[in-house]
Chains A and B, each alone.
Chain A
Amino acid sequence: DSGVTQTPKHLITATGQRVTLRCSPRSGDLSVYWYQQSLDQGLQFLIQYYNGEERAKGNILERFSAQQFPDLHSELNLSSLELGDSALYFCANSLAGGLGEQYFGPGTRLTVT
């Protein structure tokens, strides 16, 4: 158990809808990363927040956004969902904002029908 929690575990929704995924960090970890894992793309970095501020963006669509709150939990918002957005979404935490291992949560499986 990494100590990182994600809710919900599963989410089924329709195209065009909006969902929010939640990540609660390990105690003391200031950085949160969001990754998307699909069968054809593997694990892809989406976005990083460090102590409430956006630090880096990866292949994140404009329909997706994230934030990190003062208590360091984070949310990933996905809107105008398309079938291709179906994937596993993971958050990961690390103590610092740069070099070092990341600890992953159990993921949220999103299915868009």
Chain B
Amino acid sequence: EDQVTQSPEALRLQEGESSSLNCSYTVSGLRGLFWYRQDPGKGPEFLFTLYSAGEEKEKERLKATLTKKESFLHITAPKPEDSATYLCAVQASSSNTGKLIFGQGTTLQVKP
């Protein structure tokens, strides 16, 4: 069964304290891995797509990387406005549709 696991469930950082969020996946064949940011009560906001191991994408203080078994979202010198839940999702070869399989998310709190 295709599965996505994110860790940690929650993360508290001081402003400027860099860290990484982990997304481990077990799928029959990875077609794409996606990172989203979700603020409370809002819809997920698309951040990155990664398609193959070794690929990296960057946006401001965020950098996403991909290996054959996991993805990391690195947050460099975070600010309080980076506080949100970060969701990882995959599209698997077992389905020829675009359905996303989501992890449970990591809730990040950045304190000033």
Q: Chain A interface (Cβ within 8 Å of chain B)?
A: 2, 4, 31, 33, 35, 42-45, 48, 55-56, 58, 88, 90, 92, 94, 96-107, 109
Would you call B44 and A48 a contact (CB within 8 A)? no
Which B residues lie at the A interface, using CB under 8 A? 31-32, 34, 36, 41-46, 49, 87, 89, 91, 95-105
Closest to B96 in A: A98
Tell whether, in the assembled complex, residue A31 and residue B43 are in contact, meaning their CB atoms are under 8 Å apart.
Answer: no
Contact of A42 among B31, B41, B43, B102 (CB under 8 A): B102
B43 touches A105 (CB 8 A): yes
- On chain A, the residues within 8 Å of B96 by CB distance are 98
29 contacts between A and B (CB under 8 A): A2-B45, A4-B43, A33-B99, A33-B100, A35-B100, A42-B104, A42-B105, A43-B87, A43-B89, A44-B102, A45-B99, A48-B97, A48-B98, A56-B99, A58-B99, A97-B97, A97-B98, A98-B31, A98-B91, A99-B31, A99-B32, A99-B91, A102-B34, A102-B98, A104-B36, A104-B44, A105-B43, A106-B43, A107-B43
A-B contact count (CB 8 A): 71
Q: Which residue of chain B has its CB nearest to the CB of A91?
A: B43
A88–B34 Cα gap in the complex (Å)? 20
Q: Are B43 and A104 in contact (CB under 8 A)?
A: yes
Q: Give A11 Cβ to nearest chain B Cβ, in Å.
A: 14
Closest chain B residue to A88, Cβ basis: B41
Contacts of B31 in A (CB 8 A): 98-99
| Complex-state Cα separation, A103 to B89, whole angstroms | 13
Given contacts A58-B99, A103-B46, contact A109 B105 (CB under 8 A): no
A48 to B95 alpha-carbon distance, docked (Å):
12
Query: Contact at B104–A33, with CB atoms within 8 Å?
Result: no
